[in-house]
Amino acid sequence: MKNLSQKIIIANWKMNLDYKSSIALARGLFKAFDKKFITNKIVVLPDFLSLAEICKDFRSKNISYGAQDISPFSLGAYTGEISLESLKYLGCKYVLLGHSERREYFSDEKSIALKVENVIKNSDIIPIICVGENWSQKRAGKTWSIVEAQLKEAFSKIKNLRGKTIIIAYEPVWAIGSGKVVSTTDVSIVHGKIKEFISKRFKGFLPEELGIVYGGSVGLDSYQDFSENNDVSGLLVGGASLKISDFSKIINNF
């Protein structure tokens, strides 16, 4: 099991932008990075509506696109869902699963394992599986027990990861927008335990590549704290990815 061949910077635009603004931002990133030599991999996760247009018009060797979620089901009578088949047709390379906002606002816990199973067994799309604890859990010293439980649930329907690339995003929910600081030491400890969990859980059936990225309110004042940390494969960036100037600094200097 190898680390990712490149450090990866993932932009999660969430539902912060309307259609027109999403296309404009994608166009700006494309112009900024399409023909530029960079060492890091860039992944952009727009909203579903703009994703189809972005995938079609802004293909780049430096920038990959993905979805913020996926249906646990194959094609069928599932009103409002987005199918894996559609993402494959668009050429999406990544999909975000189990983000803390999905868990909190949309009661997504029970479906995460089904989504992970759907993506891993039925496509070559790379899942970005989010895990992390809230503040009360952190204060109670339950960080790893919560993260471990989330990993067990996410991979509960998977026995074999051979030939796959898997990304785990550790996003301590308590750090998002709170002003609270996550120490690089704490991040290294959690990332190390995640790697150990995958190694033990899939012994003999390990993924080809495993990336463990950090995603707790990453901004211009914090991203460099993790740039020299060998336990961090990349970053999951929220608000700072909405401004080309800010996001460019992170990409160029991480």
Catalytic annotation, residues:
99, 171
- CA 198 to CA 35: how far, in whole Å? 36
β-strand partners of 96: 128
- CA 224 to CA 249: how far, in whole Å? 10
- CA 44 to CA 47: how far, in whole Å? 10
β-strand partners of 42: 9, 63
27 in Cβ contact with 59 (< 8 Å):
no
140 in Cβ contact with 207 (< 8 Å):
no
Question: What stretch of H or E contains 44?
Answer: strand 41-45
